[in-house]
Structure 1
Amino acid sequence: MSEAKDGGLPALQAALAAEHAAVYGYGVVGGRIATGRRAEAQAAYDAHRARRDALEREVRDRGAQPVAASAAYALPFPVPDSAAAIRLAAELEERVAGVYSDLVRAVSGERRGTAALALREAAVRAVRWRGESVAFPGLAERADTSAPTGTDPAPASDSASASASARASATRTP
């Protein structure tokens, strides 16, 4: 369905659902994170709450009922300590980035810019939590996990064109 017909509503609702889950997840992170990273977890929690609230308003502005938060969410793994809380925070951000990547594809104009900003913010937070980045945040299907870190899978003569192609595909509009 095109944005003109549905206003990107399914992708907006998916982003809202992801923000609900992130807010819940950061509640768990905050309960287990070491004191030295607690302010970072609080800032991320606040950012996700703000995005959630903005998405709820946007869905209502489109005349739809915002998807409700679940009472609880299944965590991807147990979170008994600070190290697991850090892994959970990175996982939450990567999942949110993926959903915002879908939203970027589904909307246009100012909404696309807002979604791209949210994608970037989630990707940056994921890097901060994880300590490393991925080539295409939010696009797991494009990440090449077979190549060793720090190597260029393209031949030397093609590296400039491969890099330009990657940048073009990352900024291409649907």
Structure 2
Amino acid sequence: MADDGLLDEGTETAALNEVVAAEHAAVWGYGAVGAALPGDARGPAAAAEVAHRDARDRLVALLESRGADPAPREAGYTLPFPVLSEVDAATLAVALEEGVSAAWVRVLDQAAEPAVRELAVGELGAAEVRAVGWRAAAGRIPVTDAFPGL
């Protein structure tokens, strides 16, 4: 069934589109994270940006293969707070990972296909692993979330 690009609540395609939107925001947000870090500390931000870009591109291809219109990226995004330090950068990275995790949990709730469910579990786990590192860098305790995305 083709989707006209609108987020039709309660469907796997709508949930996948929510993740595309979250991944767009994460890719953009990691630019701000990296910019606030010293050059020798940008590796994790660059790796996270690539991971989110790859996930987004896989989702776009999946949606297009279904005849659905993927959520478009916005021209820019509003940061939830000013990013003026390394701690701010790590805190923003946590927010980005938690936002993506919440979207992946919605996919788990709406997934009709086992392959989509497996993709969601894998990406949710990867987002939490990245978030653990960023929580530690931000000085947050605990560094783990027993139920990421909820």
TM-score by length of 1: 0.74
Aligned match for 2:144, one of 127, 133, 154: 133
Deviation digits for residues 70-120 of structure 1, max 9, x if unmatched?
Answer: 001111111012211111011100111111011111113011001110000
Q: Distance in 1 between matches of 2:59 and 2:11?
A: 13
More displaced, 15-24 or 34-43? 34-43
Q: How does 1:152-171 map to 2 (within 5 A)?
A: none
1:81 maps to 2:85: yes
**Residue 47 of structure 2 corresponds to which residue in structure 1?**
43
The structure with more radius of gyration: 1
1:16 maps to 2:20: yes
Amino acid at match of 2:33: V
In the TM superposition, what is the alpha-carbon distance from 1:36 to its structure 2 partner?
A: 3.9
In the TM superposition, what is the alpha-carbon distance from 1:35 to its structure 2 partner?
A: 3.1
Aligned match for 1:64, one of 56, 68, 84: 68
Q: Distance in 1 between matches of 2:119 and 2:105?
A: 11
In the TM superposition, what is the alpha-carbon distance from 1:7 to its structure 2 partner?
A: 6.3
Q: Aligned residues, how many?
A: 134
Q: Distance in 2 between matches of 1:55 and 1:24?
A: 17
Runs of 4+ aligned residues of structure 1 deviating over 6 Å after TM superposition are: none
Whether the 8 Å CA contact 1:32–1:85 is kept in 2: the answer is yes
Aligned match for 1:122, one of 122, 127, 135: 127
Amino acid at match of 2:73: A
* Structure 1 stretches lacking a partner, 5+ long: 1-5, 140-174
RMSD over aligned CA atoms reads: 1.3
Whether the 8 Å CA contact 1:7–1:62 is kept in 2: the answer is no
Whether the 8 Å CA contact 1:16–1:56 is kept in 2: the answer is yes
Aligned match for 2:96, one of 92, 96, 105: 92
Q: Distance in 1 between matches of 2:148 and 2:33?
A: 21
Q: Distance in 2 between matches of 1:44 and 1:117?
A: 15
Deviation digits for residues 131-167 of structure 1, max 9, x if unmatched?
Answer: 201221111xxxxxxxxxxxxxxxxxxxxxxxxxxxx
Whether the 8 Å CA contact 1:87–1:129 is kept in 2: the answer is yes
